[in-house]
Amino acid sequence: MARVYYIGDEATAAGYRLAGAEVRVPSATEVADVFRRARESEADLILLSAQFADALPAEDFEAALLGNRPLVAIVPDAHGRHATPDVAREVRLALGIEP
């Protein structure tokens, strides 16, 4: 069975906990350390709330996205306050397809 970690707010964590994920609700100062430990664990997938992804140092985040294990996905919170990035739109903007 795959090991899934969720790092984010308490309300959203409750839902992921019910689904069987291991959850972490770090303070703003603990986000980088908790994320680093999750990457070093036996996790297969790390779900990271958009709010907490913004709090990570860029080098930690980029290293995680470039690595092949564990997979890292940015997810919105349960309240819809922090939307995930629209990667498809960013690609279209970079290619000049969309103004």
Residue 14 has phi, psi (to 5 degrees) of -60, -40
Residue 70, CA atoms < 13 Å, CB-side half-sphere? 21
Tens of pLDDT along the chain (99 residues)?
689 999 998 989 999 999 999 999 998 889 889 998 988 888 889 999 888 888 888 888 788 778 778 988 888 776 666 566 667 777 887 888 876
Domain residue spans in the chain?
A: 6-79
Residue 79: the pLDDT is: 64
Residue 69 has phi, psi (to 5 degrees) of -155, 135
Pick 6-79's CATH classification: 3.90.1150.10, 2.120.10.60, 3.40.50.10580, 3.40.47.10.
3.40.50.10580
Look up residue 24 and give its DSSP letter. E
DSSP 66-85: HSSSSEEEEE--TTS-SPPP
